[in-house]
Amino acid sequence: METVLAVVVGGLYAAGIYLMLRRSLVKLLFGLALMSHAANLLIFTAAGFHGEAPPLVPEGSRALLPPYADPLPQALILTAIVISFAVLAFGLALFRRAYSEVGTDDLDQMKATDT
Residues that bind other proteins (CB under 8 A): 20, 25, 28, 32, 35-36, 38-40, 42-48, 72-73, 76, 79-80, 83, 86-87, 90-91, 94-95, 97-98, 101-102, 107, 110-115
Nearer to other proteins, 33 or 60 (CB): 33
Tell the smallest beta-carbon distance from residue 53 to other proteins (Å): 19
Nearer to other proteins, 60 or 100 (CB): 100
Tell the smallest beta-carbon distance from residue 71 to other proteins (Å): 12
Which residue type sits at 66? P
Tell the smallest beta-carbon distance from residue 52 to other proteins (Å): 18
Q: Reduced to 3 states, what is the DSSP secondary structure of residue 106?
A: strand
- Which are the contacts of 34, defined by CB distance < 8 A and separation ≥ 6? 12, 13, 15, 16, 19
- Which are the contacts of 51, defined by CB distance < 8 A and separation ≥ 6? 66, 67, 68, 69
Q: Give 24's strand partners.
A: 106
Nearer to other proteins, 60 or 66 (CB): 66
